Amino acid sequence: MAHNRNRIAGVALALASLLASTAGADRRETALAGGWRFHLGDPGPATAEPRFDDEGWQRVAVPHTWNRLGNYGVTRRKDANTVRGIGWYRLRFAAPQMAAGERLYLQFDAASIVADVWLNGVRLGRHEGAFSRFRFDATEALKAGGDNVLAVRVDNSKPDAGSATRYVVPISGDFFMYGGLYRPASMIVVGPQHIDLADMGSAGIYERTIALDAARASVSARTLLRNDAARPAPVTLRTTIADASGRQVARDERRVSLPASGGAEATASLTIANPRRWNGRADPYLYRTTVEVIGADGRLLDRASEPLGLREMAFDAARGFLLNGKPLPLHGVTRHQDRQDKGWALADADHAQDMAIIEEMGANAVRLSHYNHAKPFYDLADRDGMVLWAELGLVNLAALPGERDARPEMVASAKQQLSELIRQNYNHPSVAVWSIGNEITNWTSKGLTPSNARPLMTTLDRLAHAEDPTRATTIAVCCEPLPGQPDTGVDRTSGTADTVAYNLYLGWYGSGHAEEAATLGTVLSGLHRERPKLPIAVGEYGAGGATSQHTDNPFGGRIESIYRPQPEEVQSAVHALSWRGIAPLGFLWGSFIWQMFDATSDLREEGDSSDINTKGLVTFDRATRKDAFYFYKAAWNPAPMIHLTGKRYVDRAYPVIDVTAYSNAAAADLSLDGRRIGSAACVDRICRWPGVRLHRGSNRLSVSATVNGKAIGDAATVAYAGPARALHVRTGSLTGVTLADGTRYGSDTFFDGGTGSTLNPFQRELYAAGGGTAKARKIVTGTDRADLYASWRAGAAFSYALPLPDGRYRVRLHLFEPDKAGAHRFAAGIAGGTQRDGIDVASLAGGVLKATTVDLTGPARNGVLRLDFRGQGGEAIVSAIDVEPLRD
Ligand code: GCB
């Protein structure tokens, strides 16, 4: 009975609301996109006045940023704009049609970093913080029926003393803070009684799933209401839920008395029978909640709707992330909100493209690093079932540099932006966790500043729970001792949130050798043993990759983690090893690749780029998927795929190469110029054909496989232009070099054992002082071929198996002593050829950092010339190897 009565009332009211909405009584939102004038600089306070002459200013559309940086190339792009300061925007617009009593709100989806807003010379207010939506009630300043002038002063100054951004978090970070009205702006007209638009940029609606089982879902929806009229107003608040087909499945109606010029709130309680859950990528089922405010006369006064996803999310220290009660390992990526040429001023299509690329790879989670992202991206995640980690922009520092405790202004900024983050994104079912900060002790761990981070992080964690009792919190931690490492005294922020995420760059920033990535699984297991009750994730892991830089062996030498070069193959290797460690760990609640896309950082000059952090799996312009992208595509995406790696390394240094493909097939076949080379098992998604011999000229490589009856394949052309019967190896180096005489040295490979080292590893201090790798600090003398004496392989015992046609060869070892006299003394020999004992490098060369050579002769047998090094009262060492055929 009750049910029937409700239905009849519902039909009547639906009709009433239809009539009301056709009468245009509910809210009207108009984009303020075109027609803006922009000026970089600050002409002064008169700029806010309507009469101010902006004729000469640049015409722009919003979203807009004045900054432009980030390019591939070793020098900064010529059209770069890295100015951090004040910019002004002005817009003339006609007043919207408004009935008596209606209100006008101006909405900015974000302005970076501090924005002051005037309408017709009347100051509406200031907003601090680059990433949140904010609104101002502009009704009193509006000239009804006339021309209006909106002026916005935006300031993205560096947070130096005296600047408006001084305490506005984040005050540090490995990303560029673009300036401007970089997200859409709009005006919203609402009636005098409306859903509150002044609640920190939120929708004014807060949904909550109270109970959920197969038979029913109980949902509450709390709505904040506002009456701007001078008289109290009785209204009806109608809350309905529609399923994905638009059919109404639940409704609540209640009367609310709104006080004169005041607010009230009401909570609807709704029940959905036989609910369908929002179940991540597998089934991201969405309902929609619509809230309507209806006047005493039955007219619709305001209406807004929000997504609703019914799901249970939990974080368990032993079982990881649970979606609807079942473990769902989060295969995540991190994303910054920028791209080439546009910076932060993204269009909806840009967000959609990013999401499509992330989905193509098979990820099921995204960390929105390191701040609140734009609404369209959250909407896409809701729609597509992507689990989100949403994050407060608080990075590297818990206080001003040099200070121990956060100043009240900085605490206030962090709290304000955390509340905005949570309130603005409360209803997105995709959001699983609120992050209260990233690497807060980073500067302290480098000895750059004192720190007392825990009080701030504890305050923020409490606030997050007060704002949202339904979701867990996390914190991304960089700088705490790993298992077995001594305590450095840096205060620990792990444990200040419900869960923790460790940012771990093993194989990149650590030892400088990619192999170190293989220890990631062990390190994580150790952390889990130390904190068995704390749900743990990998918040970041990764490596830089330049698509124009290549190596013959990613394990051949030290990487330059903050400079050049950064061969693409090292990135792939670090990821493959890292993932092998992460994949089996059932206790992890997630792992997040740093990062999905190359992104702007004016702190960086690395790989083949300027102002770009090269750790993206996809380039800054989204045009190129790096090889590592395909490794994850093979590991994560269920559709059959195979990808041949190294396609961009066309011009090969050696005639014998290892061919690698990534695939989710069990095995794959390789052919060269149509001739079958053989089959290889694809172990951990990697199919490998070692020692494939190329001929001079172009070589067409093709791989093929079958998955579930589907044939898949990929192909590439590589070339070899060198001699067949000679090899030149630059040992200990990830890069090759071509000498002035045209001799090409490949990077270090064909070795077994030993460690690669670099004479002048890049050091930022050296670089800042005008040194860098170009002006090496240490120079080897006694040679005009210094490039051969810039790195070395050393160890107690190591060997080379050099692939050469059978015959006799002369082998020249290039040597120098990098350390101290007597440190390197060894025996070297060719299997079946010359053996030399007692090679004491320093005494042979006449001192340290002096070049010398040792020649050996011997055969290649069964296609291999074997060269053995063995320490004798010191370590063995070699810095380059020449192999030339002996003329008989
Ligand atoms: C980190 C930071 C991130 C950096 C990244 C890197 O740990 O959280 O902001 O960009 O490392 O590339 O070094």
State residue 11's pLDDT score.
38
Nearest atom (ligand 1) to Cα of 439 = 8
**What's the whole-model pTM score?**
0.96
Ligand 1: which of 171, 174, 601 to mutate, judged by most atoms within 8 Å of the beta carbon?
174
Q: What angle do CA 739, 743, 744 make, to 5 degrees?
A: 90
Whether 244 contacts 286, CB under 8 Å: yes
Nearest atom (ligand 1) to Cα of 542 = 12
State residue 22's pLDDT score.
33
Q: What is the largest CA-CA distance in the chain?
A: 109
Tell me the residue type at 796: A
Whether 712 contacts 706, CB under 8 Å: yes
Active-site residue, 140 included: no
**Rounded-to-integer distance, Cα 258 and Cα 694, Å:** 81
State residue 763's pLDDT score.
65
Token pair 């991540």: residue? 280
Cβ contacts of 326 within 8 Å, gap of 6 or more: none
φ, ψ dihedrals at 739, nearest 5°: -80, 170
CA–centroid distance, 819 to ligand 1, in Å, is: 33
Show the ligand 1 pocket: residues with CB < 6 angstroms: 174, 370, 438-439, 478, 503, 540, 594, 613, 615
Nearest atom (ligand 1) to Cα of 540 = 7
Give the residue, by CA position, lying nearest to ligand 1 atom 3. Answer: 174
Nearest atom (ligand 1) to Cα of 613 = 12
CA–centroid distance, 174 to ligand 1, in Å, is: 6
List of E strands, 684-741: 686-693, 697-707, 710-720, 727-730, 737-738
Q: Which residue intervals of 232-374 are DSSP H helices?
A: 348-361
Nearest atom (ligand 1) to Cα of 369 = 9
Give the residue, by CA position, lying nearest to ligand 1 atom 2. Answer: 174
Q: Residue 218: beta bridge partners? A: 211, 271
**Rounded-to-integer distance, Cα 749 and Cα 529, Å:** 38
pLDDT, tens digit, for every residue of 249-260? 999 999 999 999
**Rounded-to-integer distance, Cα 182 and Cα 65, Å:** 5
Distances (CA, A) of 593 to 178, 549, 632: 23, 21, 10
Q: At what angle do helices 627-636 and 568-582 cross, to 10 degrees?
A: 20
Which residue is catalytic, options 306, 439, 480, 516?
Answer: 439
Q: Which two tokens stand for residue 381?
A: 């995640």
Q: Which two tokens stand for residue 603?
A: 């702190």
Distances (CA, A) of 63 to 48, 178, 374, 559: 20, 12, 12, 39
Peptide bond into 549 cis (omega under 30): no
CA–centroid distance, 777 to ligand 1, in Å, is: 28
CA–centroid distance, 394 to ligand 1, in Å, is: 13
Closest of 132, 156, 153 to residue 82, by C-alpha: 156
**Rounded-to-integer distance, Cα 689 and Cα 705, Å:** 14
CA–centroid distance, 392 to ligand 1, in Å, is: 15
Whether 309 contacts 283, CB under 8 Å: no
Burial of 289 (0-12, 13-18, 19+ CB in 10 A): buried
CA–centroid distance, 510 to ligand 1, in Å, is: 13
Give the residue, by CA position, lying nearest to ligand 1 atom 9. Answer: 174
Number of other residues whose CB lies within 10 A of the CB of residue 381? 25
State residue 26's pLDDT score.
82
Cα dihedral 314, 316, 321, 327 sign: negative
Give the residue, by CA position, lying nearest to ligand 1 atom 13. Answer: 174
Torsion-angle region of residue 210: left (phi > 0), alpha (psi -120 to 50) or beta? alpha
State residue 761's pLDDT score.
86
Q: Which two tokens stand for residue 9?
A: 């009332």
Q: Residue 706: beta bridge partners? A: 711
Whether 857 contacts 812, CB under 8 Å: no
**Could you tell me whether strands 205-212 and 122-128 are parallel, antiparallel, or unpaired per DSSP bridges?**
unpaired
Residues with pLDDT less than 70, the chain = 1-25, 763-776, 888
State residue 762's pLDDT score.
81
**Residue 37: its H or E element:** strand 36-40
Closest of 834, 826, 763 to residue 798, by C-alpha: 826
State residue 18's pLDDT score.
37
Quick one: how far is CA 848 from the chain centroid? Answer: 44
Ligand 1: which of 370, 493, 503, 563 to mutate, judged by most atoms within 8 Å of the beta carbon?
503
CA–centroid distance, 495 to ligand 1, in Å, is: 21
Report the 3 state secondary structure along 555-617: CCCCCCCCCCCCEHHHHHHHHHHHHHHHCCCCCCCEEEECCCECEECCCCCCCCEECEECCCC
φ, ψ dihedrals at 833, nearest 5°: -140, -150
State residue 400's pLDDT score.
97
Ligand 1: which of 594, 600, 605, 606 to mutate, judged by most atoms within 8 Å of the beta carbon?
594
Q: Which two tokens stand for residue 86?
A: 């004040």
CA–centroid distance, 541 to ligand 1, in Å, is: 9
Give the residue, by CA position, lying nearest to ligand 1 atom 10. Answer: 174
Cβ contacts of 593 within 8 Å, gap of 6 or more: 332, 333, 334, 540, 541, 542, 575, 617, 632
Give the residue, by CA position, lying nearest to ligand 1 atom 4. Answer: 174
Q: Which two tokens stand for residue 718?
A: 């590589």
Cβ contacts of 874 within 8 Å, gap of 6 or more: 822, 823, 824, 825, 826, 840
Nearest atom (ligand 1) to Cα of 173 = 9
